């Protein structure tokens, strides 16, 4: 019997690029397209002598959906004699694509929980280069 590895993804495609407007401003973006990873489906549990146990399906028999993400970042650089201060704003998953995660069994609710990854994720930061 053969089956895919737990982290097997048939393809991962990354495309990234950026543009420097001048010494102070830069914008960059990254697009990712990837196949879904395999997972073992989980069914309702069975009671077995007062304990609950998962009833897994065939090992790694199903795959998550194909996913894609777009991240954008803008940097503002302040140049000094011996170092630079960089302020940035970054938005991951710009179009808020809800990626499917591996389902899991929720014992409290007695359901198989189809989960989604975090959507849009903005962040700001500061960096120093010497």
Cα separation, 74 vs 20, whole angstroms? 10
Tens-place pLDDT, residues 94-129: 999 988 888 877 767 767 778 888 889 999 999 999
Residue 46 has, within 13 A of its CA and on its CB side, a CA count of 3
Q: Which residues pair with 128 in a beta bridge?
A: 85
| Helix, strand, coil shares, percent, the chain, to 5 | 0, 60, 40
Tens-place pLDDT, residues 2-52: 778 888 889 999 999 999 999 999 999 999 999 998 988 876 655 555 555
pLDDT for 103: 80
Q: Which residues pair with 95 in a beta bridge?
A: none
Domain positions in the chain = 12-129
Q: Where are the beta strands (DSSP E) in 1-120?
A: 12-20, 25-34, 38-39, 42-48, 51-56, 62-63, 67-79, 84-92, 104-106, 111-113
Q: Which residues pair with 85 in a beta bridge?
A: 78, 128
pLDDT for 52: 58
């Amino acid at each position: 019997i053969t089956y895919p590895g737990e982290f097997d993804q048939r393809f991962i495609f990354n495309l990234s690029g950026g543009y420097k407007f001048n010494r102070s401003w830069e914008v960059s973006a990254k697009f990712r397209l990837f196949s879904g990873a395999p997972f073992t489906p989980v069914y309702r549990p069975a009671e077995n002598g007062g304990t609950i146990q998962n009833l897994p399906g065939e090992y790694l028999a199903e795959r998550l959906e194909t996913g894609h993400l777009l991240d954008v970042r803008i940097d503002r650089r302040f140049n000094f004699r011996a170092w630079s201060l960089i302020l940035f704003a970054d938005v991951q998953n710009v179009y808020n694509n809800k990626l499917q995660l591996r389902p899991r069994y929720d014992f409290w609710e007695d359901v198989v929980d189809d989960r989604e990854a975090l959507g849009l994720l903005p962040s700001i930061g500061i960096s120093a280069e010497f």
